Amino acid sequence: EANMSWLEFSRWGIQQIMLISRLYYVKNPMIQRGINVCATYVFGRGVEITSTDEATNDAIKEFLERNKRVFGQVALTDQDRRKRYDGNIFWAQQTDTKNTGEVNVRTIDALEIQEIICDPDDTETPQLYRRQWTQKTFDYATGAEASKTMTAWYPALGYEPDVKPEMIGSYEVRWDIPVYHRKCGGPAKWKFGIPLVYAALDWAKAQRKMLESFATIRQSLAQISMTLTTKGGQQALQGVKQQLSTTVGPSASLWDQNPTAVDGSIFASGTGTKLEAFNTSGAGGN
């Protein structure tokens, strides 16, 4: 256990990996496409949860309908994406303990969970989560927006100690909002998961460099499209240059007086002059 704890990435390190993975999901088309395909493949046809017991089935339907923004098909697809670029999903069960007993489920941003406390006798059983987030408020009178840093503790779903303190240190414990944590991508016994795309980031970088090199080669080869061979000597080459050169320049007219030929034009020449396409076969980029 001690060795595993020494090998585990720090909370700051995992946060940087999540931020980098999110950035790659936004900017790298290969990472984004891979994540989107996986997510839509898993939840493309939706999910159905039913029970043979009629009363239980009605409760399930009501629960899923009320929490559609978290357990609907679109929401589940989005959370599968999060699993791949965050490696962690935290579901907060907001429980109405006074009136109806209903539970409204919401997700907590993985970057906001700063610490996980586990059972001393079983590191695979979480007990408490420390959340730190920025709460924004809006003043309707002035139109000003303000923000402040908030911190609170949340119990793990299923953790019911005999004593439930209202405060841990100087921070409130929200016993009415238990949290369920889904982690993936990290070794066993690690408290936090690792984004699944983390292993692909280096390859995405290499692929980007390869595609940039490929584009550079193609752009270089595209500078010359035709080759003209003539036996007329220097005088003939000078004439060809004059006929093919553009007239647009710093001291010339804005309009090209010698534009390139239109599509489907005819090339006519005397004996010993040959015009052909520039051959790029085998030059790279296949």
pLDDT category at 165 given cuts 50, 70, 90 is very high
Lowest mean pLDDT among 15-19, 105-109, 187-191: 187-191
Reply yes or no on whether the pLDDT at 203 is more than 80.
yes
The pLDDT value recorded for residue 232 is 81
Lowest mean pLDDT among 22-36, 66-80, 82-96, 206-220: 206-220
Which of the two residues, 255 and 6, has the higher pLDDT score? 255
The pLDDT value recorded for residue 2 is 61
64-108 tens-digit pLDDT: 999 999 999 999 999 999 999 999 999 999 988 888 888 999 999
pLDDT category at 221 given cuts 50, 70, 90 is confident
The pLDDT value recorded for residue 129 is 97
pLDDT category at 286 given cuts 50, 70, 90 is low
Question: Mean pLDDT throughout 136-158?
Answer: 94
Place of tokens 């908030």: 150
pLDDT category at 7 given cuts 50, 70, 90 is confident
Reply yes or no on whether the pLDDT at 130 is more than 80.
yes
**Sheet holding 103-108: strands in order across?**
103-108, 88-95, 179-183
